[in-house]
């Protein structure tokens, strides 16, 4: 007869084989891209604060001209290591619409930390009108919303090359080595030294791509570190519990087996 443990292993194997296949089936269609080392990979991975702050700077100075970040508010930036006064100063750079006031009028005021990050365009149609008909997607969940996540975004941002021989690129489109179909409506957003990092890091294109991808990974899941910390505690607790249960089971059934 097959032992309990063998059955368990068999079921586990079934699960391990089935699920990854089921979920990676789709990404097989896109162009393969290299995977990167990220500080937030793995069960103990955390965000690198310096990387996040640089990435935030890239987002603020480059991406934010077209892409919204709807699910992030100014006060969330405390996670990046900014203090309260710095966040107030960042928020105060933006004007947001508030109201209605006592006269029933909407009015503009400087943003405060509890405001959401202001979108660059009032609506989708305005965004399309200023971008040649293409809609710049919201970036708040971007890392989870693309197969390949951070690796794909990094490959995309650093994947603007010369058009290879024999490839046609439509009008108003740009060649990208990793975008499905190789034609993307977004021109290469990053250039060497396009931003000037506050911490003195040299702003090469790949450095910026890395930083802004890390920032977007944070924006996608700001509480990732808390989730992983909690996970480690829960797993340790459960492992201890499992050992206790195993030995009590052995004791209870010792007469039979």
- Contact residues toward other proteins (CB under 8 A) are 1, 4, 8, 12, 14, 17-23, 25-26, 43, 137-138, 141, 144-147, 149, 220, 227-228, 230-232, 234-235, 238-239, 241-242, 245-246, 248-249, 255-256
The residues with which 174 forms a beta bridge, in sequence order, are 184
Torsions phi, psi for 109 (to 5 deg)? -145, 165
Shortest spacing between CB 146 and other proteins, in angstroms: 5
Shortest spacing between CB 56 and other proteins, in angstroms: 21
Which of 32/81 has CB closer to other proteins?
Answer: 32
Which of 45/194 has CB closer to other proteins?
Answer: 45
Q: What angle do CA 152, 154, 156 make, to 5 degrees?
A: 65
Shortest spacing between CB 50 and other proteins, in angstroms: 25
The rounded distance, in Å, linking the Cα atoms of 256 and 30 is 56
Cα-to-chain-centroid distance, residue 256? 54
Which of 49/146 has CB closer to other proteins?
Answer: 146
Q: How many CB atoms lie within 10 A of CB 66?
A: 18
Shortest spacing between CB 102 and other proteins, in angstroms: 35
Shortest spacing between CB 232 and other proteins, in angstroms: 8
Query: Of 78, 80, 81, 56, which is closest to residue 69 (Cα–Cα)?
Result: 56
Which of 3/164 has CB closer to other proteins?
Answer: 3
List, in sequence order, the alpha helices (H) in 74-183.
84-92, 124-129, 142-145, 149-157
The rounded distance, in Å, linking the Cα atoms of 159 and 189 is 11
Which of 90/147 has CB closer to other proteins?
Answer: 147
Shortest spacing between CB 253 and other proteins, in angstroms: 9
The residues with which 95 forms a beta bridge, in sequence order, are 110
The rounded distance, in Å, linking the Cα atoms of 219 and 63 is 13
Which of 60/228 has CB closer to other proteins?
Answer: 228
């Amino acid at each position: 007869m097959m032992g309990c443990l063998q059955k368990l292993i068999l079921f586990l194997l079934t699960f391990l084989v089935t699920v990854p296949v089921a979920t990676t089936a789709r990404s097989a269609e896109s162009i393969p891209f290299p995977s990167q080392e990220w500080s937030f990979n793995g069960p103990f991975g955390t965000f690198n604060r310096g990387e996040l702050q640089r990435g935030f700077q890239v987002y603020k100075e480059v991406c934010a001209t077209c892409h919204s970040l709807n699910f992030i508010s100014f006060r969330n930036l405390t996670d990046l290591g900014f203090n309260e006064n710095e966040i107030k100063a960042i928020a105060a750079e933006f004007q947001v619409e508030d109201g209605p006031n006592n006269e029933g009028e909407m009015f503009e005021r400087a943003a405060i930390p509890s405001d959401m990050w202001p979108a660059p365009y009032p609506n989708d149609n305005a965004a399309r009108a200023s971008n040649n008909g293409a809609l710049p997607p919201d970036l708040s969940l971007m890392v989870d919303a693309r197969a390949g996540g951070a690796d794909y975004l990094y490959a995309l941002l650093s994947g603007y090359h010369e058009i290879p021989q024999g490839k046609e690129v439509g009008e108003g489109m740009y060649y990208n080595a990793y975008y499905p179909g190789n034609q993307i409506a977004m021109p290469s957003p990053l250039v060497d030294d396009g931003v000037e990092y506050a911490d003195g890091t040299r702003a090469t294109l790949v450095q910026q791509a890395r930083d802004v991808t890390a920032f977007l990974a944070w924006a996608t899941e700001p509480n990732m570190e808390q989730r992983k910390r909690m996970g480690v505690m829960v797993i340790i607790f459960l492992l201890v519990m499992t050992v206790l249960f195993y030995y009590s089971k052995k004791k209870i059934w010792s007469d039979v087996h």
